[in-house]
Amino acid sequence: MISFDKVTKRFGSNLALRDVSFDCDAGTVHAITGENGAGKSTLMNLLAGVFPADGGEIRLRGKPISPERPADARRLGISTIFQELTLLPNLTVAENLFLGREPLRLGTIDRSTMRERARSMIARLGSRIDIDAYCGELSVADQHLVEIAKGVSVDAEIFIFDEPTAALNAPEVEKLGELLASLRAAGKLVFYVSHRLDEIFRFCDRVSVLKDGQHVETRATKATTRDELVSLMVGRVLSQFFPARPARRDAAPVALSVEDLRVDADGPQVSFELRFGEIVGLAGLEGQGQRDIIRALSGLEPGAGGKVTKSGEAGPTPIGTDVVKTALAGIGFVPEDRKTEGLYLPLSIGENITLGMLRRLPIWRMVRGRPHVIADLIRRLNVRSAGARQAVGELSGGNQQKVMIGRWLAAGIDVLLLEEPTRGVDVGAKAEIYGLLREFTDGGGAVLTVSSELLELLGLCDRILVVRRNEIVAELDGAQATEEDVMRYALVGHADA
Amino acid sequence: MLDLARKSRRTGLSPIVLALPLVLFVLLCLSSATFRSLENLANVNSQIAALMIAALGQGIVAISGGIDLSVGSVMSLTSAILVTADPAWGVPLALAMGVCVGLVNGFGVTLFRVHPLVMTLATMTFVQGVALLLHPVPGGTVPSYLRTLAVSQVAGLPAALFWCAAAILLAWYLLNRSRFGMRTYAVGANPVSAGRNGIAVTRLKVACFVLCSLSAVVAGIFLTARVGAGDATMGNPYSLDTVTAMALGGVQLAGGTGSVLGIVAGVITLGLMSNGMNLLGVSPFLRAAVTGALLLVAIGLQRREAIGA
Amino acid sequence: MTGDAISPSGATGQRLRAVGRTLLSLPFAYAATAILLLVAYFMRPALLSPMLLLLIVRQAAPLGIAVLGQSLCMRVLSLDLSIGGVIVGVSYILTSGLLPYSEPVLLLIAVAFGIAVGLLNAFFITRLRASSVIVTLAVTLVITGVAVAFSQLRSPGDAPEILRQIVRLKIGIVPVVLVVWAALLVAVAVFIRWSVFGRYVDAIGANPRAAWVSGIPYVRVVTVVHVLSSLFSVFAGFLLIGFVGVGSMDLGRDLALNSLAAVILGGVTFGSGKGGVLGPTVAALMLTFSFNLLTSLGLGEPAKLMLQGIIIGVAAAAYSVQRKN
């Protein structure tokens, strides 16, 4: 029904998809899987009309198509349930379900029909969401359900589910499975983008694996195993990327002490210590509060109570209430989203790095450019660029990430808070970034990181704190912990399951 | 009350927004006998009618996430056109002008991605220039049928009331009952999400700007007819007054939040303040200063995430 | 053979194209000035006499100074439309005689007034995150409203003697006004280019969210920008009042829009200081010259307004299209 033929897509200098070719049939649930950044969502976005391809052809029943807008895709019979929510917070559930195809009667919106049909759509998912509630009031899980209800209610031949279960609970995932089966029975083609292997084996008929923007293989799920899929996805032994861990430093001085921090006014308290010389990771399922903890420490979204102190030459400094003061205390925060929160894309590499070095200076002080320092740093970070004057926006993801971390290294801070240290970064640059972080801690710094890639935390961290429902439920030794250990704590909160 | 709080996500209505005009009304009734008179109330009505019509247009643009500072100039140019053009052609010409200005604003903001404040500031200046070129000195005569439409009474009720009622009804239908309205709220809240739901965001935003300019033309027609003469600077205060009125009415400049009821309440609040100060003998220039202060308070209270223009 | 013949010309073509790109990326003000001078040369050559040119340059000084502040504002994604209001306020403070102080004290009060307005603008813009256009327009409304209402009580009188003297002073043939303007220009250019403040301005313009996240003192920088802009408005007001000789409630009314037009024309758009300090300055000269040209062609206020509108709209549109590519 759909054929991808040498489909290519680039973002700036980054090749997100390279010559991807495979076919998909009607009446199947087709899984698209791969590591983070493998190009799964990019491929689906081409089909959904979010952006056009740069090369190759997508054919629908043999006819080439190139949807340029989501509306075009919908007209072609392609309905997408996006990973990011597309619900409008100021419309009700019913209105959101029919936005763009509102039923009319005498030129006005037919609200009774709309609500009636909305109710049955929600009921089909086995949910009790109030259809008159504004979507902004709903929990994230409920919003995802509404999104799914909206996607499948479209009269389409092809359905794309982009990581639909990220925010769902077990019973809702079951319902989703039934829904997928009914779509298959109706002869539709369903794309199921996920890296949750058990769901792929339970729900899907075929699976295509992407790696680094390339198509690796497409197989029937019955004809393959978990281990085979994993080896197709990773292709390289991960441990080679990670720098060696030094001996544990339980006696090293404390860099950051967190006492009774609450990220949620009536949530549980969090207490832990971060020592100089170590890398500590916060692990857990998506949206369990890891990110809130690190953002509270950075002072961006101050916590609702508790005490955070940073030790330094001038004695302990309270931090976490104000971004500017936190940065002044010698703490660098590297956000997940480089483009909107991290870098100054139009400015040069040199300017981006210099901004970190100015941290302690009064704003009226005159400064001279320090081309040697910057050139040295660029060399040390191994940023591949045309020179310090090149705009950061023109660099690849990995090099951008290095500049963002390098800015804090140049600033002379001794504690680094990182969100997703290698999001959207190619494999080679990942290893270099891990090396940089270890170099930083070996030189006396301390790192606290949040990552949704568990393997990354297991390979990099000295200690792993597992977070569940805004609470630290376990502390594991990074060198000994296994994926299963962490997942058990993350899922149920205690060791026996 | 609970319903009001819940819906305020969309409507921006709060008890304060609704109570403000009522409290003002009661206070003025108590403090001034002149205010209570029927003539004065009719007067208030005709004073605020132009603001009402223009503010409803401004409100629609604001809900879609834009702003239009050219409203005042468009009213001025309308006035200039009405007294210089052939009586039969005045109104159609003015309406055509409104469509043009709206299209320029809309395309500037969408296709050329100019910030709406900068874009409409540009058209505001240009249109003001055209108005002065066309009709440098205030005066001239307004077609008599327009004058009749603006100042006569029907069943003892002033015509201004009907102009207001028509504008409110139309805006209410557009925002609360039509597809266009629901989509406008959607685009204002998040244009990217709205686009992914298959809404033609560009077309909708342009339509909002055209509607706003058209409502400014209608407001200009009413005002010119009521005054009975053309004035190429007549609309000057309206650009900011409309913004003040809708901000008082709980319309969020960030887009996606606002209601017809709120805008009406905001317009009445502003109108009562102006009329009250007039009755209390406050200098008209100080009234402008109070409007400015009111505007500062109203937008200072808005919740806004973005940093910038 | 052919390959050899083609490659050097290909390189030249590439270089030509690069030169073309550089020219295209220059602020429109430069090209516009050239065109304008050509038009004047053919239609009103009298305007190009050195004496008249010098007069026009002198006349451009208030706008040129206001533009310095406006360009700072636009670099941090803000706008200052309270320039006219500040000048009306300054005019009233200096000329109404309502304040019984000596001239130097009055000048100081005017400066303090400017700082206060800048702080007020900045408070609303940074702390309450209100739209800068609306805030500064509302502040203008308040200041002009109060000043005009007060002037019913006591109308403005003569300008302070100091100001009238200063604007007439000359060093050789160069008016002191121009020296003051040039000094401010150089000071701002140097400060922006070399100070920590300047780097922060670039950072906030490039990505305010990132500046905030990485702990750059956003509030302090934007506050300083708005205070500077109001201060420059005060200085511009001093010159205008000196030129006119008497106080007026119409003084500097169009300065806010003209400065906006000049800044955009000079290549400084929201969040980008590409045009530097020179681009907007050239644009200020060009605008003043063009208004003189319009007047000499018998076109008055309306044409001026239309030109301003077209400049702001077209230049802003052109830059954003350019940036998109």
CB-nearest to C215 from A327, A342, A363 is A327
- Smallest CA–CA separation between A82 and chain C, in Å? 25
> Which residue is listed with tokens 């860099």?
A255
Residues of A in contact with C212 (CB under 8 A): 323
The total number of structural domains in chain C stands at: 1
pLDDT digits (tens, 9 = 90+) for C27-38: 777 888 888 888
Cα separation, C301 vs C308, in Å, equals 11
Q: Do B292 and C141 touch (CB under 8 A)?
A: yes
The per-residue pLDDT for C63 is 93
Chain B interface includes A107 (CB < 8 A): yes
| C-alpha separations of B103 from B107, B190, B214 in Å | 6, 22, 11
Tell me the average pLDDT across C131-143: 88
Q: Are B125 and C309 in contact (CB under 8 A)?
A: yes
Q: How many domains does chain A have?
A: 2
Instruction: Extract the tokens encoding A88.
Output: 């409008």
Whether A90 sits inside 8 A of B189 (CB atoms) is yes
Q: Is A491 in CB contact (< 8 Å) with chain B?
A: no
Does residue A220 sit in the same domain as residue A264? no
Tell me if B121 and C149 make a contact (CB, 8 A cut-off): no
Q: CA separation (Å) from A74 to A328, B199, C141?
A: 51, 11, 50
In this complex, is the C-beta atom of B185 within 8 Å of any C-beta atom belonging to chain A?
yes
- Closest CA in chain C for residue B305: C129
Give B166 to chain C, closest Cα distance, Å.
29
Yes or no, beta carbons of C134 and B132 under 8 Å apart: no
Query: What DSSP letter does each residue of A158-214 carry, written as one string?
Result: EEEEESTTTT--HHHHHHHHHHHHHHHHTT-EEEEE---HHHHHHH-SEEEEEETTE
C5 belongs to a structural domain: no
A85 interfaces chain B, CB cutoff of 8 Å:
yes
- For residues A100 and A369, which has the higher predicted lDDT (pLDDT)? A100
Smallest CA–CA distance, residue C190 to chain A, in Å, is: 9
> Which tokens is C97 given?
């005689």
Inside any domain, residue C12 = no
Domain presence at residue C203:
yes
Q: What's the distance, CA C126 to chain centroid? A: 22
Percentage of chain A beyond pLDDT 90 is: 22
Q: What gap in Å lies between CA A75 and CA A7, rounded to an integer?
A: 21
> What CATH number is attached to the domain comprising A487?
3.40.50.300
Is-contact C285 C134, C-beta < 8 A?
Answer: no
Residue of A342, A354, A363 with shortest CB distance to C210:
A342
CB B133 to CB C135 under 8 A? no
Tell me which of B222 and C247 has the higher pLDDT: B222
Give the gyration radius of chain B's Cα atoms: 19
Residue of A nearest to B186 (CA): A88
| CA C26 – CA C19 distance, rounded (Å) | 11
List the single residue in C200, C202, C211 with the smallest CB-CB distance to A363.
Answer: C200
Give residue A37's pLDDT.
Answer: 63
Q: Identity (one letter) of the amino acid at A84?
A: E
Give me the pLDDT at residue C22, please. 67
Q: Helix, strand or coil for residue A119? A: helix
Q: Cβ A364–C197 below 8 Å, yes or no? A: yes
Sequence letter at residue A393: G
CA distance C156 to A187: 84
**Does the distance separating the beta carbons of A108 and B177 come in below 8 Å?**
yes
Touching B: which chains, 3+ CB pairs < 8 A?
Answer: A, C
- Asked if A82 is an interface residue toward chain B (Cβ–Cβ < 8 A), one would say yes
Nearest CA in chain A to C200: A355
Interface A:B, Cβ pairs < 8 A: 73
Read off the pLDDT of residues A316-344 as tens digits, 9 standing for 90 and up.
888 878 888 888 888 999 998 888 888 99
- A328 near C CB under 8 A: yes
- Percentage with pLDDT > 90 across chain C: 31
pTM: 0.83
Amino acid at position B83, single letter: V
Residue A497 lies in a domain: no
Confidence of residue A13 (pLDDT cuts 50, 70, 90): low
Rounded to 10°, the helix C28-43/C255-265 angle is 110
Last residue of a domain, one of A235, A266, A293: A235
Q: Which residue of chain B is at minimal alpha-carbon distance from A90?
A: B10
Phi-psi group of A62: left, alpha or beta (phi > 0 → left; psi -120 to 50 → alpha; rest → beta)? left
Q: What's the whole-number mean pLDDT along residues A297-304?
A: 85
Is C8 domain-assigned? no
Residue A310 sits in the same domain as residue A442? yes
Residues A191 and A297 in one domain: no
- Which residue type does C322 have? Q
CA C156 to the chain's CA centroid: 26
User: How many Å lie between the alpha carbon of B184 and the closest alpha carbon of chain A?
Assistant: 11
3-state helix, strand, coil in chain B (%, to 5): 75, 0, 25
Nearest beta carbon to residue A104 from set B179, B194, B256:
B179
A100 chain-B contacts, CB cut-off 8 A: 183, 197-199
State percent of chain A over pLDDT 70. 96
Region C133-149: what's the mean pLDDT?
Answer: 89
- Per the structure, the complete domain to which residue A459 belongs is given by 239-492
What radius of gyration, in Å, describes the C-alpha atoms of chain C?
21
Give the residue from C75, C123, C142 with the most B CB atoms within 10 Å of its CB, the best one to mutate: C142
Chain B within 8 Å of C297 (Cβ-Cβ)? Answer: no
> In C, what residues contact A, Cβ < 8 A?
194-197, 199-200, 202-203, 206-207, 209-217, 220-221, 224, 272
Calculate the average pLDDT of chain A. Answer: 85
Closest residue in A to C216 (Cα) is A324
Select the residue of C212, C313, C321 nearest B123 (Cβ to Cβ): C313
CATH number reported for the structural domain that contains residue C116 in this entry = 1.10.3470
Residue to substitute from B74, B104, B112, interface C, most C β-carbons within 10 A: B112
Contact: A355, C199; criterion CB under 8 Å: yes
For residue A110, pLDDT beyond 70: yes
How many Cβ atoms from other residues are within 10 Å of residue C298's Cβ? Answer: 7
Between CA A173 and CA A195 the distance in angstroms is: 14
Place of tokens 């043009």: B100
Confidence at residue C244, expressed as pLDDT on a 0 to 100 scale: 87
Give me the pLDDT at residue C6, please.
41
Whether the CB-CB separation of C263 and C153 falls below 8 Å is answered with: no
Q: What is the pLDDT of residues C15-69, one digit of tens each?
A: 777 776 666 667 777 888 888 888 888 888 887 888 888 888 999 999 999 999 9
Give tens-digit pLDDT for A137-161.
887 778 888 888 888 888 889 999 9
From the list B115, B188, A67, the residue with the least C-alpha distance to C323 is: B115
Among A166-175, A340-349, C93-102, C159-168, the least confident range: A166-175
Alpha-carbon distance B209 to nearest alpha carbon in chain C (angstroms): 16
Residues of A in contact with C188 (CB under 8 A): none
Which of B160, B141, B139, B165 is closest to B150 using CA atoms? B160
Q: Is residue C91 within 8 Å of C114, Cβ to Cβ? A: no
A206 and A254 within one domain: no
Q: Whose structure tokens read 């009319």?
A: A104
Q: Which of A357, A435, A347 is nearest to A388 (CA)?
A: A347
Are A422 and A36 within 8 A, CB to CB? no
DSSP letter string over B10-46? HH---HHHHHHHHHHHHHHHHH-HHHHSHHHHHHHHH
Low-confidence ranges of chain B (pLDDT < 50): 1
For residue C174, give Cα distances in angstroms to A122, A319, A400, C54, C55. Answer: 79, 56, 51, 8, 10
Asked if the C-beta of C92 comes within 8 angstroms of chain B's C-beta atoms, the answer is: no
Q: Across the interface, do B6 and A134 touch by the CB < 8 Å criterion?
A: yes
- The conformational region for residue A260 under phi > 0 = left, psi -120 to 50 = alpha, else beta, is left
Residue type, C89: G
Cα C281 from Cα C263, distance rounded (Å): 8
Distance CA B229, CA A79 (A): 58
DSSP string, A237-290: -GGGGSPPPPPP-TTSPEEEEEEEEESSTTS--EEEEEETT-EEEEE-STTSSH
Pick the last residue of a domain from A217, A235, A253: A235
Range of the domain at C57: 28-324
Given a cut of 60, is residue A497 above it in pLDDT? no
Residue A375 touches chain B, beta carbons under 8 Å: no
Chain C CA closest to residue B128: C305
Q: What is the interface size between B and C, counted as CB pairs within 8 Å?
A: 170
How far, in Å, are A47, A119, A348, C53, C86 from residue A344 at the CA level? 31, 46, 8, 42, 34
Residue C193's pLDDT band (cuts 50, 70, 90): confident
Choosing from A235, A263, A298, the residue where a domain stops is: A235
Compute the distance between CA of residue C75 and CA of residue A97 in angstroms, rounded to an integer.
42
- Longest CA span, chain C: 89
Chain B residues with CB under 8 Å of C321 CB are 112-113
Q: Kindly tell me the number of DSSP H helices and DSSP E strands found in chain B.
A: 15, 2
Using 50, 70 and 90 to split pLDDT, how confident is the model at C13?
Answer: low
Distance from CA of A41 to the nearest CA of B (A): 15
Nearest to A134 among B10, B173, B200 (CB): B10
pLDDT of res. B145:
86
Considering the domain architecture, whether residues A415 and A275 belong to the same structural domain is answered as yes
Residue C1 pLDDT: 36
pLDDT > 50? residue A408: yes
- Looking at the domain assignment, is residue A290 inside a domain? yes
pLDDT at A338: 87
Residue of A300, A345, A358 with shortest CB distance to C213:
A300
The rounded distance, in Å, linking the Cα atoms of A377 and A353 is: 9
Q: How many angstroms separate the CA atoms of C163 and C241, rounded? A: 7
Q: What is the pLDDT of residues C82-132, one digit of tens each?
A: 999 999 999 988 888 778 888 889 999 999 999 999 999 999 988 888 888
Say if C252 falls within a structural domain: yes
| In a shared domain, residues A244 and A330 | yes
Residue at A125 is within a domain = yes
Q: How is B45-80 classified by DSSP, letter by letter?
A: HHHHHHHHHHHHHHHHHHHTT---TTHHHHHHHHHH
